Amino acid sequence: MKNFNGRLAVITGGGAGMGRELAIQLAREGCHIAMCDLDEANMAETRELALADAPAGTRVSTHRCDVSDPEQIQAFRDAVLAEHDTNQINLLFNNAGIGGGGSFVNDAEENWQKTFDICWGGVYHCSRAFLPALIAADASHIVNTSSINGFWASIGPQTPHTAYSAAKFAVKGFSEALITDLRINAPHVKVSVVMPGHIGTSIVENSGKVLGRSPDSMTSEEISDLRDQLASSGLPVGNLPDDSIRDLIRQRARDFRDNAPTTAAEAANVIIDGVRAGRWRILIGDDAQIIDQLVRDDPEAAYDPDFVARISEHGHLQQLIAATEPQAG
């Protein structure tokens, strides 16, 4: 698919980050957009930004949908096809995701399950729901966002990272298996798996909102638990008041977004170029390239405590670990 003009792209998680940038860049090429998100205000802003540089006649629709809920996904699909008066779509970007549920041992089961259901369930159920519309088109492409955590289940030796990593491994495996399935049964439908490194998005902040773990909503008991985690990692926070801990959480979220080595706009550009080139495997960022190579070179050592130091020797992961380790929720 070399030309996106007049095509219809469905984007989950379109309210911010890579989803927003995909909408803006595709609309600029005359691609019609249907996006979903939980934050309607953010989606409205994305729509305004996307239409600002789009050719006349480009349509951008917004739809509130929790992609962890199959019934909401079905309603989203029906609304998209009705609003765009079609029975087909050309591009499906399964982009929505959150973090959380890091520890299978200690974290609340509902947080673990919610993270997994959004990051994996959203990909599966959206692909199921939109598959007939993808097949009905003359050319179409499924783009599933996995992560470096789809081939390396870690963000550092001190921080469990189970729910997100399990989901992203599932996304990667599903996408790779679809290559053969689609080639046999729907050869005009292509698939790509996207594996970003540290991208400058609001995922840390948004994850807290979705899981009820934003700084403003955390109870004193939750703040106390987080203070203990931070102190056990060696940070001098034992005497910090609750509001200072909340400020620390906010700052880490800002650092993750603002100090990333790759911006969301740069990531979206890499994804679109990868789709245009027909590539099934899209790594984003020098950090993703280095980590991928190091894991392939020595998989047995990938979870040794000093493995992150080997990554850092190549100049990567410092900002990511500073923003996420240790992480509550």
Give the 3-state secondary structure of the chain: CCCCCCCEEEEECCCCHHHHHHHHHHHHCCCEEEEEECCHHHHHHHHHHHHHCCCCCCCEEEEECCCCCHHHHHHHHHHHHHHCCCCCCCEEEECCCCCCCCCCCCCCHHHHHHHHHHHHHHHHHHHHHHHHHHHHCCCEEEEEECCHHHCCCCCCCCCCCHHHHHHHHHHHHHHHHHHHHHHHHCCCEEEEEEEECCEECCHHHHHHHHCCCCCCCCCHHHHHHHHHHHHHCCCCCCCCCHHHHHHHHHHHHHHHHHCCCEEHHHHHHHHHHHHHHCCCEEEECHHHHHHHHHHHHCHHHCCCCCHHHHHHHCCCCHHHHHHHCCCCC
Active site residue 164: yes
Catalytic: which of 93, 116, 124, 164?
164
The answer to whether the Cα torsion of 67, 71, 74, 80 is positive or negative is negative
Q: Tokens 């029975």 label which residue?
A: 87
**What is the set of active-site residues?**
164
